[in-house]
Structure 1
């Protein structure tokens, strides 16, 4: 049984979704491209399974948490899972290019577009830090929740809110 809850954040109201075992499957910001935008009618609203996720996300937004420790259950192909796992290796406050992430995921350099597609399909925004991935020249490119959200998250992690304005 899928459950969901919401929480306020600097990005707006986040939609949190968990599988029947209480593992987080989605963290979505408002207007996230290509992802669920509202709860499915079959889902059960229940904040209980999300208490730890809300606590950790709140601590992250307050600058007190740098690494999430939550049970996760994102659904995706083996390739996407490998790319999403590689996202977990990007340290708080750091950034990598899509090319560097491609290498970290153990993929050939010719796979950069496919890796970028997997990053764009990441259902666990913030928790799996796809916002830390930049274009080859260090430019802010693509983020399912929008570039303003990406700027906000990178600024929060750098503690320099003007860095990406």
Structure 2
């Protein structure tokens, strides 16, 4: 059985999903792929310990503190490739950015391959079911483009600014698939 609750954040209404033990999802209202990893109906239930812990984590995060991802039991649903990409995302330091190409290089090493497609990485990053906590907003294009955030570019900027990221070399693309 899957459960859901909501949390009103500075970036909009968030929907949280769990299995009673672990956090399975966190989606921003209107986000692309909202809830797509939970294939069954979710029962709304607010008083589950993992939801309380997640809301406390979010309170700290939006207050400008740096709560550790390891404080929460995360169990995003996805295949092995996506799981590995999401694991790499959890290693991106607070307030820092990394490119899709950098992640592709890390994955190529993990998979003992010469190279890895940045597009494949982008697909996995875009389908991250635990937004904000698994920090896919910290991934940018090779040229500094703020592209590719399923929660929207304005939200990505808000989150990076909250974290004090150096925005001087980043820009909003004039066109693209993730605008």
Instruction: Report the TM-score when normalising by structure 1.
Output: 0.89
* Residue equivalent to 2:94: 92
* Residue equivalent to 2:42: 43
Query: Does the aligned pair in 2 maintain the 1:152–1:161 contact within 8 Å?
Result: no
* Residue equivalent to 1:16: 16
* Residue equivalent to 1:28: 27
1:155 aligns with 2:157: no
- Any stretches of 5+ residues in structure 1 without a counterpart? none
How far residue 104 of structure 1 moved from its aligned partner, in angstroms, is 2.4
How far residue 45 of structure 1 moved from its aligned partner, in angstroms, is 1.4
Runs of 4+ in 1 over 6 A off after TM superposition: 159-165
Distance in 2 (alpha carbons) for counterparts of 1:114 and 1:82:
12
1:145 aligns with 2:151: yes
The alpha-carbon distance between structure 1 residues 43 and 147, as it changes in their structure 2 partners (threshold 3 A), is: same
The alpha-carbon distance between structure 1 residues 159 and 120, as it changes in their structure 2 partners (threshold 3 A), is: closer
Distance in 2 (alpha carbons) for counterparts of 1:159 and 1:89:
16
Distance in 1 (alpha carbons) for counterparts of 2:144 and 2:130:
23
- Any stretches of 5+ residues in structure 2 without a counterpart? 173-179
Match of residue 70, structure 1, among 65, 69, 72 = 72
Number of residue pairs the alignment of both structures matches: 163
